[in-house]
Amino acid sequence: MPKIFFDQVSKSYGAVEVLPPFDLTLEDGEFTVLVGPSGCGKSTTLRMLAGLETLSNGEIYFDDRAISKLEPKERDLAMVFQDYALYPHMNIAKNMSFALRLARVSKSEIDEKVLRVAKMLNIAHLLDRKPAELSGGQRQRVAMGRALVRDAGTFLFDEPLSNLDAKLRGKMRAELAEMRDTIDKNMVYVTHDQVEAMTLGDRIVVMSDGYIQQQGTPEALFKHPVNKFVAGFIGSPTMNFLDADLVEERGLTWVRGDGFMLPLSDETGKRMADAKNRNVTVGIRPSSFLTDASNGAPMELKVVVSEYLGAQSVLITRCSETDVVVETQSAQPLQTGSVQIFGVKTDEIMVFEKSSGRRL
Amino acid sequence: MQTANVNRLTPYLFLAPAGIIMAVALLYPIGYMIYASFLDWNPSQRIGEAEFIGLRNYLNLLGDAAFRESFWVTLKFAAIVVTVEMLLGVGLALLLDRNIRGMSLLRTLFILPMMIAPVVVGLMWRYMYHPTVGIFNRTLKSLGLEPIPWLSDGNWAFASVIIADIWQWTPFIFILSLAALQSLPQSAMEASRIDGATGWQQIIHIKLPLMMPVLIVTLLLRLIDAFKVLEVILVLTNGGPGLSTEILSLRISRTASEFRELGEAAAMSNVLLILLMILTFAMFAYSKAVEIRTARLRAAAEETAI
């Protein structure tokens, strides 16, 4: 399996530059997830890798081999499409074996491979059906199976789960995660769903507006986002952002906003020392709140909506004019309309430059 | 109570005009024709005066060598023109299904012939086929070749009407094929590229099979049209020389107007109608069966869904 390297690759449609030049390395055997909102260029990146789109500039290398001029079939890859892209007129066995038949693999070998993959994906009983005769989830599996039968070096997934309903999506996501560990291949996975990205990726590449915002392990992105976009995109429920000013008082650095004043941890505070602009955006994850105010910096919030989910509750609260989402572990539903004092874990507070969104 | 009744009647009220037009414009003439085919009727009689002779018109047809010849000419004509037109039309569509500058102009030019009135097409080709001043024979002559008896020899005349028909109707298949091609699922094409299909393999394994439903309907439409063709041949050869180009519709028209056998002509029309209806129903039944099977299996799959 090759190491894949994008060298100053860019893409324009006419005068419109959708992807400014970028570098990106996908390590051998890694499960890489390209994630971002729609229109961020993640699918275009994948399609350039697949050979379905041309590059406007730059080059893609598989190890040391330049591949941007090669036909898709010469790149040793298999792809799963968002709408599955099954061949409607062929039965499932024919769909899965199409590439092998074109490659003139012997019939016995084809039958054996198709059956093995079909059994693995639990679709062996569907082999003589047509795609239109299958449910969405089954079609999804067939699309997956068609890619697996190929035994290619690199697997590409273009939003493979987005056409499924929520329950099925969760199930397929778990199966994919399991498959990821048993199959030692390069996998490149495009999605707009950060949960999929977090659960599947060895490495996540967050994209927005054609730029790579940050790449790293799920943990690194969650704990150390480089800017407000990544911080807001990764994590569910999403991070709360509040406008504030930096102030020095009693030997500590504080963030003071409309209705709250929170101290920063020493480590964060030190980094603020050279911040020229004192206007900042404070980011607090919903999970950084504690119902017990004595364990953190106190913050007064009015509970507006309480979504009681059993083991935990998601509260929508209001701090002055701004909505703040709070995730609590308490088994007790909180009274809607009441004003509560929550504790904020000060070492989890993030501070972003207000103008650029850059993390301070 | 009354409002409920009126409400229930509303849809029928809206359908009524269409129903009446259907009855007057379609069912009445067909019924009239079917009835007439059981009569020994010549144009000087009113229909009520004609003698009822049961199936004798149909039996006469079986023994009528000229009718059988005409039937055979029609079958030959339809089979040849539709085959050639399908091959050319689909081939052109596959060739021109791409984005090159000027392609839309080219496509428009390609479909011009079918917009010309058939009588005009007939006249145009008759002049081109003219033995001495026609473009074909003049060209042959200037090349030092023998002139061809385009319309005066039986075999050549048959070939000539076929050429004219192909010229006029290939565009019809071309535009329908092109529309089918352009509405094919793009991702299936891309998947086949990733699976390693070459251009030819894409055409054979993916494009043609996926176009098939449209192609079948197109084929059927052209077949029906080819069985009914009249004007071009009427103008070009009027069925001659001999009976070499006398297709069924010409025979019917001559039986009615020249031989003054309205009942016989009606019987011929009915034979043609039955033939076309069998073709059409077979096609509908087939596609319906496929549809039902697919829906059933899919419903079963959704029920036991994973």
- Tell me the shortest Cα–Cα distance from A90 to chain B, in angstroms: 9
**Chain A residues within an 8 Å CB radius of B306:** 122, 135, 137-138, 141, 168, 171
Does A168 sit within 8 Å of B188, measured CB to CB? no
Question: Which residue ranges make up each domain of chain A?
Answer: 4-225, 240-353
- Compute the average pLDDT of residues B77-84: 95
Does B194 sit within 8 Å of A79, measured CB to CB? yes
Is the Cβ of B99 closer than 8 Å to some Cβ of chain A? no
Is the reported ipTM for this assembly greater than 0.90?
A: no
Domain A4-225 and domain A240-353 have a common topology:
no
Report the pLDDT value the prediction gives residue A290, as an integer from 0 to 100.
87
For testing contact with chain B, the best of A133, A150, A154, A156 (most B CBs within 10 A): A133
Report the pLDDT value the prediction gives residue B304, as an integer from 0 to 100.
62
**Chain A residues within an 8 Å CB radius of B305:** 135-138, 168
- Ordered by where they begin, the domains of chain B are 68-303 (1.10.3720.10)
Does B301 sit within 8 Å of A52, measured CB to CB? no
B191: confidence class by pLDDT, cuts 50, 70, 90: very high
**Chain A residues within an 8 Å CB radius of B188:** 85-88
Q: In this predicted model, what pLDDT tens digit does every residue of A325-347 receive, in sequence order?
A: 998 876 667 778 888 888 999 88
- Which three-class secondary structure string do you get for B72-116? HHHHHHHHHHHHHHHHHHHHHHHHHCCCCCCHHHHHHHHCCHHHC
* Closest in A73, A134, A135 to B196, CB measured: A73
| H or E segment and range at residue B32 | helix B28-36
- Size of the A and B interface in Cβ pairs below 8 Å: 93
Q: In this predicted model, what pLDDT tens digit does every residue of A108-134 receive, in sequence order?
A: 999 999 999 999 888 899 998 889 888
Q: Is pLDDT at A177 greater than 90 in this prediction?
A: no
Is the Cβ of B201 closer than 8 Å to some Cβ of chain A? yes
**Chain A residues within an 8 Å CB radius of B193:** 51-52, 71-73
- Tell me the shortest Cα–Cα distance from B163 to chain A, in angstroms: 35
Q: Which residue of A has its CA nearest to B186?
A: A85
Contact indicator for A26, A3 with CB cutoff of 8 Å: yes
Topology of domain A4-225, CATH? Rossmann fold (3.40.50)
Tell me what percent of chain A is helix, strand and coil, each rounded to the nearest 5.
Answer: 30, 35, 35
- Compute the average pLDDT of residues A182-197: 88
Q: Is pLDDT at A239 greater than 90 in this prediction?
A: yes
Q: In this predicted model, what pLDDT tens digit does every residue of B234-274 receive, in sequence order?
A: 888 887 787 788 888 888 888 888 888 888 888 888 888 88
Q: In this predicted model, what pLDDT tens digit does every residue of B15-73 receive, in sequence order?
A: 999 999 999 998 998 888 888 888 888 878 787 787 888 888 888 888 888 888 888 99
> Using alpha carbons only, how large is chain A's radius of gyration in Å?
24
Kindly give the pairing relationship between strand A186-191 and strand A154-158: parallel
**Chain A residues within an 8 Å CB radius of B297:** 129-130, 133
Report the pLDDT value the prediction gives residue A274, as an integer from 0 to 100.
73
Q: Is pLDDT at A191 greater than 90 in this prediction?
A: yes
* Burial class (CB within 10 angstroms; exposed 0-12, middle 13-18, buried 19+) of B296: exposed
Report the pLDDT value the prediction gives residue B124, as an integer from 0 to 100.
92
In Å, what is the CA distance from A275 to each residue of A49, A226, A358? 41, 16, 11
- Compute the average pLDDT of residues A225-246: 91
Is the Cβ of B24 closer than 8 Å to some Cβ of chain A? no
The dihedral built from the CA positions of residue B203, B208, B210 and B214, taken in this order, carries a sign that is positive
Report the pLDDT value the prediction gives residue A354, as an integer from 0 to 100.
86
Percent of chain A with pLDDT over 70: 99
Is the Cβ of B299 closer than 8 Å to some Cβ of chain A? no
Is the Cβ of B210 closer than 8 Å to some Cβ of chain A? yes
Report the pLDDT value the prediction gives residue A328, as an integer from 0 to 100.
85
Whole-number Å distance between alpha carbons of A268 and A112: 59
Domain A240-353, CATH: 2.40.50.140
DSSP type of residue B25:
I
Q: Is pLDDT at A95 greater than 90 in this prediction?
A: yes
Report the pLDDT value the prediction gives residue A135, as an integer from 0 to 100.
86
